Amino acid sequence: MSILKIKTYPARVLKETAKAVKSVDGRLQELIANMSETMYYANGVGLAAPQVGVSKRLIIVDTSYREEGGSNLIVVVNPEIVYQEGDVTAIEGCLSLPRFTININRSARVYIKGLNADGNPLEIEATGLFGRALQHEIDHLNGVLLIDRLTSLEKQNISYSLQKIQR
């Protein structure tokens, strides 16, 4: 396993729609292992393949170590939100937008379908931090970043701050 470089805004891969995974094979398993090592190393609760430069519809999430002190990695291949309800606003951060936290409105409950790490069908109903993390990572697969969910004025302020940091 190895720690991968996390792409940061404005990397092009972060704005593209990721491609569907055609087969769950050894290469995908290696990518999952490397992504999980990268996510834990970076202190994240989720990571999408585009964030490590791979345009595939693959996400990993583990909120349990923050919520319960344990570890429970969830892998979803080709995730799709099939149902969502309610609204909740909370602060979010993103490994691809380091040093920023933003108040974002998300669905309070989501129902996700996809495949697990072995290629078997998976269904998840989620709320709280876990539901928020799933939505956040699926946004990455669709080329949507936190800043895309902001008002124009909020976006200008963030862009200006990001430019200062990148200099």
Domain range 12-166, its CATH number among 3.40.50.720, 1.10.10.10, 3.90.45.10, 3.20.20.140: 3.90.45.10
pLDDT at 101: 87
pLDDT at 127: 97
Distance (Å, whole) CA 1 – CA 3? 7
- Mapping DSSP to helix (H, G, I), strand (E, B) and coil, where does residue 37 land? helix
pLDDT in tens, 42-96: 999 999 999 999 999 999 999 986 555 557 899 999 999 999 999 999 999 999 9
pLDDT(146) > 80:
yes
Average pLDDT, the chain: 91
- The yes-or-no answer on residue 30 being catalytic is no
Considering 30, 85, 137, 154, which one is annotated as catalytic? 137
pLDDT at 150: 78
Residue whose C-alpha is closest to residue 48's, from 90, 79, 88, 25: 79
Report domain extents, the chain: 12-166
pLDDT in tens, 149-159: 877 777 777 66
Strands 46-48 and 58-61 come out as antiparallel
Question: At a CB cut-off of 8 Å and minimum separation 6, what does 32 contact?
Answer: 58, 60, 75, 117
Question: At a CB cut-off of 8 Å and minimum separation 6, what does 139 contact?
Answer: 145, 148, 149
